[in-house]
Structure formats: structure tokens, C-alpha cells
């Protein structure tokens, strides 16, 4: 089973300015998060983001925040460690809107609900920090909500390798797929003939 861009949503968890300096291999983890967000924008994959207690842990790190701003992504503040506990699952799987009247007579922006891009996308590509706390709890809750969860290991981090690796073991044991940033890139693309191939390839060279 391979990832499909058309069925995917990207979830980025807590890449915050007062947390990332303490993360093992923080610069590498952040660089891969930027790659994921940029690839998602190139391939029309919806992006979601959460920030744990932003008054204490600060805003998202640059340049990741800049990519989110360019894509019009609003970071969801949270106090629960799991973003799913604060409604992320409902946002990822919004109810279909009922449009009244003759749909053909409506302007195009009313014919297609704003949430339509997320409807039917049950595959969640998720990454974040800390891997053994907020990322893991969010991913486990989303698995409970019957999403297919793919964890991007090289874009996840904890303050220690042991905690990070323990999170991966637990996630895999509960049904999450473990992948890397390059796996996501080439599975979303599928072919060297994809119009975005050169732009995505440049991100990971």
C-alpha cells in the first residue's frame, strides 16, 4: 500500500520556538517538516498544524511558519497534549454542507463547499514534537477515530533518542505506518513525469 496525494492530509504538531532547541537533531527534524509542508503545497495536499500552549512554548519556528502562512494555514492552539482531544479529528473529517437551491445556478465558489478539499481524505501524514508526547497522543487518538495514520519519522523528534524511538515502537504496534520524508515525496509523486517532480526533487537534494 502506497500513499496517494489525493487521499492525504498533512498534520504538523508543535514545531515551536521554545521547544525545538531542546529536540535531538532539531535542525534536521525542522528541515524535514519544512520539506513536507512545501511538498504538500505543491501537490494540493491540505495542511493542518497545532501548537501546544503557545504562550509558554512560543510560535512555530521559521521558516516553517512562513510556508504555513503562504498556504493560508492557521495554527490551532491547544492545551491538551493530543490535538485530537481539541477537535482536530472533526476538522480533518468535516460534515458535508447542504447547499440549497439549484446548484447549477450558483456561483462556482458556492457550488463547491470550502471544506470539500478535506472531505473523503482519510490518510493522515503526521509529524511533530515531542514524538513521545503530543505527536504520539495525537496519532493514537486519530487511529482510534479510524483514520489511516502515517508517521514521518525523520520529521519527528524528542529531547532524547530513547523517548523518540519508544514512541515509534508504540505507534507501529498500534497500526501506524512509519515512513520518511523521501518516502512521502516519491509516493505522493508516483512518477518522474508528474508536473511537480522537479520542484519536489529540488527540495530533497
**Model pLDDT for residues 63-116, shown as the tens digit of each residue:** 999 999 999 999 999 999 999 999 999 999 865 544 444 444 444 444 444 344
Cβ contact 134:156 at 8 Å: no
Strands 123-128 and 8-13: parallel
Walk across the sheet containing 47-52 and list its strands. 75-78, 47-52, 8-13, 123-128, 148-152, 177-179
Average pLDDT over every residue of 15-39: 98
Phi, psi (deg, nearest 5) at residue 9:
-130, 145
Q: Could you report the per-residue pLDDT of 124-175, keeping only the tens digit for each?
A: 999 999 999 999 999 999 999 999 999 999 999 999 999 999 999 999 999 9
CA angle 200, 202, 205 (to 5 degrees): 115
Mean pLDDT, rounded, of the chain: 90
Residue whose cell numbers read 486519530: 142
Tell me, what DSSP letter sits at residue 52? E
The dihedral sign for the CA sequence 23, 27, 28, 29: positive
Q: Is 8's pLDDT higher than 60?
A: yes
Taking the C-alpha atoms of residue 157 and residue 14, their distance in angstroms, rounded to an integer, is 10
Q: What is the pLDDT of residue 113?
A: 40
DSSP 23: S
pLDDT at 112: 41
Q: What is the DSSP track for 86-154?
A: GTHHHHHSPPPPP--S-GGGS-HHHHS-GGGGTTT--EEEEEEB-IIIIIHHHHHHHHHTT-EEEEEGG
Q: Helix or strand or coil: residue 199?
A: helix
Mean per-residue pLDDT, 30-56: 98
Are the C-beta atoms of residues 184 and 9 closer than 8 Å to each other? no
Q: Which domains does the chain have, with CATH numbers?
A: 5-93+111-204 (3.40.50.850)
Q: What confidence category does residue 47 fall into, taking pLDDT thresholds of 50, 70 and 90?
A: very high
pLDDT at 120: 75
**Whole-number Å distance between alpha carbons of 161 and 120:** 35
Number of Cβ within a 10 Å radius of residue 198:
9
Amino acid at each position: 500500500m502506497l500513499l496517494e496525494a489525493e487521499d492525504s492530509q498533512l498534520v504538523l504538531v508543535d514545531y515551536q520556538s521554545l521547544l525545538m532547541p531542546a529536540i535531538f537533531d532539531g535542525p534536521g527534524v525542522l528541515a524535514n517538516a519544512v520539506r513536507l509542508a512545501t511538498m504538500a503545497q505543491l501537490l494540493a495536499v491540505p495542511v493542518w498544524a497545532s501548537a501546544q500552549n503557545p504562550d509558554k512554548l512560543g510560535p512555530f519556528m521559521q521558516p516553517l511558519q512562513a510556508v504555513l502562512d503562504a498556504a493560508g494555514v492557521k495554527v490551532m492552539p491547544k492545551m491538551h497534549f493530543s490535538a485530537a482531544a481539541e477537535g482536530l479529528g472533526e476538522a480533518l473529517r468535516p460534515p458535508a454542507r447542504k447547499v440549497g437551491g439549484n446548484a447549477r445556478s450558483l456561483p462556482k465558489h458556492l457550488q463547491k463547499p470550502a471544506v470539500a478539499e478535506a472531505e473523503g481524505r482519510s490518510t493522515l501524514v503526521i509529524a511533530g514534537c515531542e514524538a513521545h508526547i503530543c505527536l504520539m497522543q495525537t496519532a493514537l487518538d486519530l487511529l482510534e477515530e479510524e483514520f489511516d495514520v502515517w508517521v514521518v519519522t525523520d520529521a519527528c523528534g524528542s529531547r532524547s533518542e530513547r523517548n523518540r524511538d519508544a514512541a515509534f515502537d508504540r505507534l507501529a504496534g498500534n497500526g501506524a505506518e512509519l515512513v520518511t520524508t523521501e518516502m512521502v515525496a516519491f509516493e505522493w509523486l508516483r512518477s518522474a513525469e508528474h508536473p511537480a517532480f522537479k520542484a519536489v526533487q529540488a527540495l530533497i537534494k
